[in-house]
Amino acid sequence: MLAINYRFEFKQKELIKGSFSKKVSKQVMEDLLQHSLEDHLSSKEVVATIYFSDIRSFTTISENLGSPKKITDFLNFYMDALVAVIERHRGTVDKFIGDAIMAYWNAPLPIKDHADEALQAALEQLETRDLLNKTISKKFGFEVDFGIGINTGEVVVGEIGSKGRSDYTMIGDAVNLASRLEGLCKAYKVRLIISEFTKKSLKHEYTLVLLDIVVVKGKHKPVKIYEVVAKGLPSEEKREEIRRYHEAHDLYMQADFENAKTMFETLFKEYGKYLYGLYADRCKTLMNQKVKEFDGVYRFTTK
């Protein structure tokens, strides 16, 4: 019986290692091995924070690098740097999708303040981008930029797939929205977007800017999205800029497009931020269209 129990326990540990060894840090792996196999591999519903990141202009980068080996060397270096930050903040790397990374928090182990951990990991990645680019520039001859989308919501997590081939992963609308938010970084020319659901889950202070109220492709319900500028409260100068922007955005939401346009144009002249110019152009278009019924929701038809 001792031999049978030992063999059973050994098999459980091997299965856990097989499912998680390349997804989590060594510390998390040690914690996982203290629990039963069923605790982690069986499907269950959890509230998780999901992260997607993607390299900008990767097609151009691949073309310039030329050889498959150079592309692989670059991706391995880049992925190692970003994954190390995710693991430091107790995240689980789900998969690599070409040049994109999917990760999540609060599975397979529960993580306290998982929205904050995910957001702080993303901010740390952005803060170290310049340092990362010094090495990339020296080694590969270019600099890299990337966008990050984060969402928090209920998902199904567990071993998902066929009998012969499965993977520990998570699925659900919350995952799809996180992926869409990463894509929206391009539309607003920002590097980090979170949903209103992640914002509500945060425990610490951050400098946030309301970007828009949107319906992403494939969805029907509008969601507020925010740019994350930095950890902690903004400086007095930044606070004043954000206050003026939110004032202009309130006018926009009230369909006072003429006054909103004037404020957005002034902000754009002073700060040159793409978002302010974007809203000024929107206001001009809406004025020309003489829109009477306005709900303030922008509907995306592409990813």
Question: Tokens 């702080």, residue?
Answer: 120
The separation between the first and the last C-alpha atoms of the chain, rounded to the nearest angstrom, is 56
What is the model's pLDDT at position 8? 47
Taking the CA atoms of 247, 249, 253 and 258 in sequence, report the sign of the dihedral they define: positive
The pTM (predicted TM-score) of the whole model is 0.88
What is the model's pLDDT at position 6? 46
Buried b (16+ CB within 10 A) or exposed e, 119-157: bbbbbbbbeebeebeeebeeebeeebebbbbbbbbebbb
Domains of the chain: 43-233 (3.30.70.1230), 234-303 (no CATH)
What is the model's pLDDT at position 14? 54
Where would I find the H helices in the chain?
Answer: 2-20, 26-32, 37-41, 58-65, 68-88, 114-127, 129-140, 173-188, 196-201, 236-253, 257-271, 274-289
Per-residue pLDDT of the chain (303 residues; tens, 9 = 90+): 665 554 545 555 555 555 555 555 555 555 555 655 555 556 789 999 999 999 999 999 999 898 999 999 999 999 999 999 999 999 989 999 989 999 999 988 889 999 999 999 999 999 999 999 999 999 999 999 999 999 999 999 887 776 666 577 889 999 999 999 999 999 999 999 999 999 999 999 999 999 999 999 888 899 999 999 999 999 999 999 999 999 999 999 999 999 999 999 999 999 999 999 999 999 999 999 998 889 999 999 877
Structure-block tokens of residue 300: 């995306």
Tell how strand 92-97 and strand 100-105 pair up: antiparallel
